[in-house]
Amino acid sequence: MNILLILAAAMLILVLGAAGLRRVPAQRAATVRRFGRYRRTVGPGWHWVLPQVDKTGPQVELINHHLQVPMADGQAELYYQILQPEMTGETLEHADEFVAAQANAAIDARTTGEFKLELNRLVGPKGLRVIRCALHAS
């Protein structure tokens, strides 16, 4: 009887342990929320979360982000990467909107080179980098 109880407890621990495993594919990251509040950001690989308590958010690509941001006098075309998803934090789930808002804040820099430098200054603390940009007048 004792051996059956021990075996049942071991099986329960294994099932609960496996229920908390989450896999994030290469070149992606995801947020973990506990009771709906941001807890942490996880990168590629296997991660364990508390079953029924933690939920993983949508997986976000770390490279190949392309945005076309409407501006007052045209539009900006941006390509950016997420270099350090841990620094991006909760913003990871809304990175496109964040970069678009920062692009609108940086539009005072009139040349493309100045615009890219100013934009990288604004998004850099969040672990993001604009790798290419172009300003198109309307």
The SS3 call for residue 15 is helix
Same domain, 77 and 50: no
Same domain, 47 and 31: yes
Same domain, 51 and 94: no
**Measured distance CA(104)–CA(92) in Å, rounded:** 19
The pLDDT tens digits of the residues spanning 106-127 come to 877 667 678 889 999 999 999 9
Structure tokens, 53? 């308590």
> Which regions in the chain score pLDDT beneath 50?
none
Work out how many domains the chain is built from and give that number: 2
Structure tokens, 3? 């051996």
- Give me the sheet containing 74-82, strands edge to edge: 65-71, 74-82, 128-137
Same domain, 32 and 48: yes
Range of the domain at 9: 2-60
Out of 18, 38, 60, a domain closes at 60
Same domain, 70 and 55: no
In contact, 19 and 51? CB cutoff 8 Å: yes
Question: Residue 39: its pLDDT value, please?
Answer: 93
The pLDDT tens digits of the residues spanning 68-82 come to 988 877 888 999 999
Angstrom CA distances, 5 to 2, 10, 19, 22, stand at 5, 9, 21, 29
Angle at 40 between CA 38 and CA 45, to 5 degrees: 135
Out of 14, 42, 60, a domain closes at 60
- Contact partners, residue 71, CB within 8 Å, separation at least 6: 103, 104, 107, 135
List the CATH number of the domain containing 69.
3.30.479.30
Same domain, 95 and 115: yes
Out of 33, 60, 87, a domain closes at 60
